[in-house]
Structure 1
Amino acid sequence: MTTRDLVLAALFTAIIIVLGLIPPVTLGFIPVPITAQSMGVMLAGCIIGARRGAVAYALLVVLVAIGLPVLSGGRGGLGVLMGPTAGYIVGWVLGAFVTGLLAERFVREGQSGLVQMAGFFLASVIGGIAVVYAIGMPVVSLVAGTPFAKVAAGSLAFLPADLLKAAIATLAARAVMVGYPLLPQRA
C-alpha cells in the first residue's frame, strides 16, 4: 500500500469514528444497537475500495481493542470485542472489503449515473448488510445464548435502517465519483 492509501484509510477511520458520535438506537429485544458506524462499511468500500476500506475498519478494531472509546455510545475495550456486538464489529472489516470489491466490479467510468448508483447500492447491500449480518448474527446467538432463529428474526428490525444507509452511501459514492474522479483509483 502506498502512503496515499494509508492516508485515505486513516481518513475513513476518522470518518467512522465521527459517525459513532451519532447516538445509537437500542431496540431492547436484541443486544445490538442501530448505529451510523455501520454505514461507514458501505461508504468506505464504495468510495476508497476494498483494501483501503478494510484497512480503515481494521484500524478501528485495533483502536477499540486498545480501549479507545471510538464506538457509538463511547464504547471501547476488549470487553466490547468479546460481547454480543463483536461479530458485527469484526464483520465490518470483511463487509468493507466485499463492498469495495463489488463496487470495483459493478461500477465503471462511462456508465450512466443510474447504472453506477445501482452498482453502488447492490455492493452496499451485499457487503454492508448481508456479509455483516452473516458474521454478526451467529456471534450474537452464541454470546447471548439466544437461538439463531430468534436473532435472525430480531435482526429484521435493522433492515429498514440499513437499506436507508445503503441509499445514503450510494448517493455519497456517486457524488464523490463525479466530484473527485481521481479518488476511485482504488488500491
Structure 2
Amino acid sequence: MTLHQPTETATADRRRAFSPTDLALVASFAALISAMTYLGAVPVGGAGVPITLQTLGVMLAGCLLGPVRGTAAVLLYLLLGFIGLPVFAGHTSGPGVLSEPSVGYLLSFPVAAALGGFLVSRIAASARTRALPVFLCSIAASILVIHPMGIGGLMVRLDLDVVEAWRIDVLYWVGDLLKTTIVALVVSEVHRAFPQLLDRRR
C-alpha cells in the first residue's frame, strides 16, 4: 500500500481553515466583548459615546488570538449586534447604530484587532511574553485606528470640525491607557503560559 503525503496546498488549506478550537475561541471572545459592553459604561459629555470596556475586549481578542481569529471574533460580535442582540454600548443594537456618533469607534474595532494581532504575532513575536512590547502594539492600534476612525465618526454624525471632534476624543485617552495597560499585563502572561496560542496549526 502506498501512503500519500499531503500536498503543500492541502496543508496550507488546513492551516487556513478554522478548527473546532478556533471556532470556540472566536465565539468565546465575541461573548467576552459583548459582556464587557455592559460593564462600567460612563457617559462622556454630550457626544453620546460612553466609556466602556469594549476596546479592552477587542484588543484582548486581537493580541491573544492573532489577526485572523481576533478579527473574526470582533466581526462576530458586530454581527450579533447588527442582527438585534443588545450588545452595543447602552444596550443598543441593530443597523441604526450606524447613525450614532459612536459609529467610527464601532467600525474601527475589527481593524484594530487585526492590526494589534499582527503587531503582537509578527513584530513583537517572541517578546509578546513581556508587557511593554504588548503595550506598544496595542496602543499603536488604538492611536492609528480607533481614535482616527472615532474622530471621523464624530465629525460626520455631529457635524464637527476635526479640532472639535478631537476635543471629544481626547476625553477617552486616559481610559484607553488604563485599558491598554490591562491588555499588556494579561496578554503577556497568557502568552507566557500558552506559547503556542497564536499558532493555528495546532
Q: TM-score, normalised by structure 1?
A: 0.91
Which of 48, 52, 61 is the matching residue for 2:78?
A: 61
Summarize deviations over 1:3-33 as a string: whole Å, max 9, x none.
2222211111011011112031111242211
State the 1:123 CA deviation: 1.0
The share of aligned pairs that are identical, in percent, is: 33
Which of 150, 156, 167 is the matching residue for 2:170?
A: 156
Please say if 1:17 is aligned against 2:34: yes
Please say if 1:119 is aligned against 2:133: yes
User: 1:2 maps to which residue?
Assistant: 18
State the 1:125 CA deviation: 0.4
Cα pair 2:33 2:54 within 8 Å, conserved: yes
Rate the CA distance shift 1:168–1:186 in 2: closer, same or farther, 3 A: farther
Q: Structure 2: which 5+ runs fail to align?
A: 1-16
Q: Structure 1: which 5+ runs fail to align?
A: none
- What's the C-alpha RMSD, in Å, of the aligned pairs? 1.7
Higher relative CO (CA 8 A, sep ≥ 6), structure 1 or 2? 1
Rate the CA distance shift 1:105–1:28 in 2: closer, same or farther, 3 A: same
State the 1:61 CA deviation: 1.1
Cα pair 2:128 2:188 within 8 Å, conserved: no
Q: TM-score, normalised by structure 2?
A: 0.85
State the 1:95 CA deviation: 0.5
Cα pair 2:41 2:89 within 8 Å, conserved: yes
Pairs aligned (count):
184
User: 2:65 maps to which residue?
Assistant: 48
Question: Aligned partner of 1:127: which letter?
Answer: A
Matches within 5 A, 1:78-93: 78-93=95-110
